[in-house]
Amino acid sequence: MEILYLLLACLAAFMAGILNSLAGGGSFITLPALLFIGIPPVLANTTSAAVLLPGYLGSVFGFKKTYRTIQIRSLIPLLIITLIFSVGGAYLLINSSDEFFLKFIPLLIMAATLLFIFNPSYGGEIEKSNSTLLKKFGLSLVSAYGGYFNGGLGIALLSVLSLDSEFSLKQISAIKSSLSLMITLVSVSIFFLNDFIVWSYVFFMMMFSILGGFLGARVTEALPTAYVRRFIILVGVLLSLSLMYLNYFN
């Protein structure tokens, strides 16, 4: 049974790494797997974040071709915002129960997906100064959310980053991977220092998460932008609907 649990955990980490590179939502693969193995919910949440951390690193390396088209200095303000607010989110988690917050996750993911679908910046309806301000404000909220609960982080980041049409969708996907890495690195460091990670299976799952993240990033670079956008929307809708069913009707 231990071998079967290990295989299940590694497969979940691999699939989560791919999904996080493409659209986000990998936590909703690893978290149920860890719960099935028998890890308590809050610790499963923090351990899932630790497992997916190397996958975000794999995604960053996988997007190396896309990063050549981005001015790195434009990412510095975004990284600073994610650093500050993810610390707050992580400390909020380790000092509270996530049961109440979990009720709002499906609504948050659905709202992020709808924002991505009906983004006003695609039609040029928001001036650049206003869209940039909205992006920074939204990124602050998403970073705190990601520090607290990693699930759906990719969808939320994609939605916020797409408010500003400065970048193409593939560039946004690459930036999303960098910001996801920063948010998760900060939160996992805090979880580690406060002994909130269960290390059973973690190192095996990390290796498969890296492979999945790298593969997902290469697939994203190869696919046409329209396909990437449709997949992101599909993942967001399915995640929110499935969580609504689990939280409200089950």
Burial of residue 141 (CB within 10 Å: 0-12, 13-18, 19+) is middle
Place of tokens 């690195």: 185
Q: Which comes out higher in pLDDT, residue 117 or 194?
A: 194
**Torsion angles phi and psi, residue 172, rounded to 5:** -60, -40
Instruction: Give the chain's length.
Output: 250
Residues with Cβ < 8 Å from 152, sequence gap 6 or more?
24, 25, 27, 28, 105, 108, 109, 112, 236, 239, 240
Classify the C-alpha dihedral 217-119-183-23 as positive or negative. Answer: negative
| Residue 16 exposure: Cα atoms within 13 Å on the Cβ side | 35
Burial of residue 195 (CB within 10 Å: 0-12, 13-18, 19+) is exposed
- pLDDT digits over 183-240, tens only? 999 999 999 999 999 888 888 999 999 999 899 888 888 888 778 778 777 877 887 7
Does the structure show a pLDDT above 50 at 6?
yes
Cβ atoms of 148 and 93 within 8 Å: the answer is yes
Distance (Å) of CA 60 to CA 159, 174, 204: 19, 7, 20
Distance CA 84, CA 106 (A): 25
Residues with Cβ < 8 Å from 188, sequence gap 6 or more?
46, 49, 50, 53, 197
Does the structure show a pLDDT above 50 at 142?
yes
Distance CA 84, CA 26 (A): 23
Does the structure show a pLDDT above 50 at 9?
yes
Distance (Å) of CA 21 to CA 7, 50, 71, 92, 180: 22, 16, 21, 26, 10
CB atoms within 10 A of CB 15: 18
Distance (Å) of CA 76 to CA 73, 115, 202, 223: 5, 24, 31, 28
Model confidence band, residue 165 (pLDDT cutoffs 50, 70, 90): low
The residues spanned by each domain of the chain are 2-248
pLDDT value of position 221: 80
Does the structure show a pLDDT above 80 at 152?
no
Does the structure show a pLDDT above 80 at 106?
no
Distance CA 81, CA 243 (A): 28
- pLDDT digits over 27-80, tens only? 878 888 898 898 887 888 899 999 999 888 888 988 989 999 998 888 999 999
Q: What's the token pair of residue 96?
A: 């509270």
Closest Cα to residue 62, out of 54, 74, 73, 71? Answer: 54
Q: What's the token pair of residue 18?
A: 């791919």
